[in-house]
Structure 1
Amino acid sequence: MSLRIENQTCFFATEKGEQIRLCGDLTVITDSEKAMSAVEIEGRRIYITEAEADALTVAGATDGRKHLKADSGDSVI
């Protein structure tokens, strides 16, 4: 998946073609099971890197991420 941001407009390259959204219409979320950030477009989750998530929030997306805590004692987190 590839993400490009221009003038508060986000361009997502997906296997079904390019999705274009205004950054202000998006909310960056955390998928707890995968421990990854994502955005939902048309009921489908698009997973993004933390750098992409930060860039989206700077461009106007709502930051709905939550911090995850490790449950096991051997975690490096």
Structure 2
Amino acid sequence: MTHISEVLFPIIERLNRIESLITKSDNPNLMTIKDVVSYSRLSEPTIRRAVMRSTLKPFKDDGKKLFRKVDVDNWLQG
């Protein structure tokens, strides 16, 4: 008999991947930390410090942080 967790775990993993793809492709104005690093040309630790200090706030934090491009632009302009 198959354990219910053995069935659910792969489904949950796949749903997480699908959600990630949908979020990214549906809204090009959302950026991951790596996107912010590339866009701003600042280091990842600098971005993370800004998040910790709440000077740059993620739009969504469900295991990975997403940022609105407009918020990143405002933060960069200081």
Fold shared, TM-score > 0.5 on shorter chain: no
> Normalized against structure 2, the TM-score is what?
0.26
Superposition TM-score, scaled by structure 1 size: 0.26
Bigger CA radius of gyration: 2
Structure with the largest fraction of strand:
1
